Amino acid sequence: MSKQTTTRRKTVKDIAAAKAGTPLVCLTAYDAPMAALLDPHADVLLVGDSLGMVVHGLPSTVGVTMEMMILHGQAVMRGSDQAMVVVDMPFGSYETNNDSAFLNAARIMKETGCQAIKIESGTYAAGQIAHLVERGVPVMGHIGLRPQAINVDGGFRAKGRTFGERDRVIAEARAADEAGAFAIVIEGVAEDLAAAITAEVSCPTIGIGASAACDGQILVTHDMLGLFDWTPKFVRRYADLSTSISDAVSAYAADVRARKFPGEAETYALRKPAPEQR
């Protein structure tokens, strides 16, 4: 039996309303417990292919599979009930042709129950976006720094810092917008470029390393919570959970080695029978 809830999830129309209203709050989520904590505060939970690096320890997002995205997408859906859940399409799942893009997107939506998918949308992907939208698949675009293109770019680096690159990023934004993307993630570009794109496209823009000029913001939750020693320039740490977790585990290990844990409070005792049972 499916989970019964009276809460309404946010829809494409809700996200579109941010173009002229309150900025969108977006965060990544990869599992049910974290999704449950983020859900009351977020408009969008993105099951990003960043899970390959954040959760699975891969060197980049290129090795992420459909099965990984679906597994984590299912978990996030189970842990949330009001935020729109968007699942990334992994490298190699949409670039070849429109039909393969639709079949893979449809599989993700069917098996996870998510409300939309996201693709890294160079100008080449405009055809796939239009094809998907026409067939009932809401698409979030992703322009600028595109992590799946790391092997072409030679690493993670900001985009649009030369006139040639600037023109390419603007072209990516126009192509995604005209093809019907309901929102566009802009990653790793200068503030003036993010502002120019946001002013030009009809759909909301969601920045990550793209300044407050966008219509919303997204961060990798693990970065924002301080779970890693290093964070990118564009991340503001709102907590230092790495230290808190390390301290907690250190205290637990010390108690175990000193036989202080488990103590009486954490130990089961034999139940004494009731008097009438003696």
Binding residues for Mg(2+): 49, 88, 120
For residues 240 and 224, what is the distance between their CA atoms, to the nearest angstrom? 9
For 136, 168, 203, 220, 256, the CA distances from 124, given in Å and listed in that order, are 20, 11, 19, 26, 57
**Residue 198: CA atoms inside 13 Å, Cβ hemisphere, count?**
26
CB 111 within 8 A of CB 25: no
- In the block, residue with structure tokens 């790495």: 242
DSSP state of 270: P
b/e string for 46-82 if b means 16 or more Cβ within 10 A? Answer: bbbbbbbbbeeebebbbebeeebbbbbbbbbbebbbe
Residues making up the annotated binding site for 3-methyl-2-oxobutanoate are 49-50, 88, 118
Q: Give the end-to-end CA distance of the chain in Å, rounded to a whole number.
A: 45
For residues 223 and 57, what is the distance between their CA atoms, to the nearest angstrom? 14
Q: Which of 67, 165, 187, 191 is catalytic?
A: 187
* 67 included as an active-site residue: no
For residues 56 and 235, what is the distance between their CA atoms, to the nearest angstrom? 21
Residues making up the annotated binding site are 49-50, 88, 118, 120
C-alpha 243 chain-centroid distance: 24
Beta carbons within 10 angstroms of residue 213's beta carbon: 19
Q: Which residues are catalytic?
A: 187
